[in-house]
Amino acid sequence: MSKRIVIVDDNTFLQKAVAEKLSFFDDLVLKFTAHDGLDLQQKLEKNRNVDLILMDIEMPVCNGIEAVKIVKSKYPQIKIIMLTVFDNDENIFNAIKAGADGYLLKEVNPKDLHQGIIETLNGGAAMNPSIALKTLKLLRNPVDFEQRSEEDIKLTSREVEVLEQLSKGLNYNIIATNLFLSPGTVRKHIENIYNKLQVHNKLEAIQKAKNNNLI
């Protein structure tokens, strides 16, 4: 019998990309998709015959970690794998604490995604090697993320200016002109921003800065 899978992601393009990976396997069937945690809850109320949910983290209305808590409290039998671009320690810690059964990155190939789903449905825990390593480090050196305030992320006024320009879709050269800086200096500021926010690209930086009321 095919396993019934749900994809939760606010990005329709990424939903389709994941669905395409699932389509290679006859033992998996896509039951439905949802664009955020609230949409998922409403659809599960009508159709709870689901085996496993592939859950994004950063979503509007109700994010993936909140959705995991709610789904696990109502439907503990449904397995949940986080499927995200975010591999920072806090997201991993919070997702596992919320009840996630696995944590994979969106770059995962179809074969590994299928294997992770089957392992999780059989009682295991699907994780990318890099995520497993971070999880081990968190177990060895626990961090109390709840005690960390937003003030932990401190950007200089110049970094905030650069990030605001970046959020408008401007390239390095235009930002440099607007702020009377050299492109190399802009690039250095952006590197510093990524390090401080623990992100890997522009979209993650902008999203995290907005979540922490930095821009």
Identify the residue with better confidence: 70 or 199.
70
pLDDT tens digits for 25-59? 999 999 999 999 999 999 999 999 999 999 999 88
- For residue 139, name the pLDDT band (cuts at 50, 70, 90): confident
Q: Are 52 and 80 in contact (CB under 8 A)?
A: yes
CA atoms within 13 A on the CB side of 184: 0
Distance CA 92, CA 103 (A): 7
Which helix (H) or strand (E) segment holds residue 29: the answer is strand 28-34
Q: What is the pLDDT of residue 150?
A: 47
Helix (H, G, I), strand (E, B) or coil at 176: helix
Which helix (H) or strand (E) segment holds residue 183: the answer is helix 183-197
171: its two tokens? 């390239």
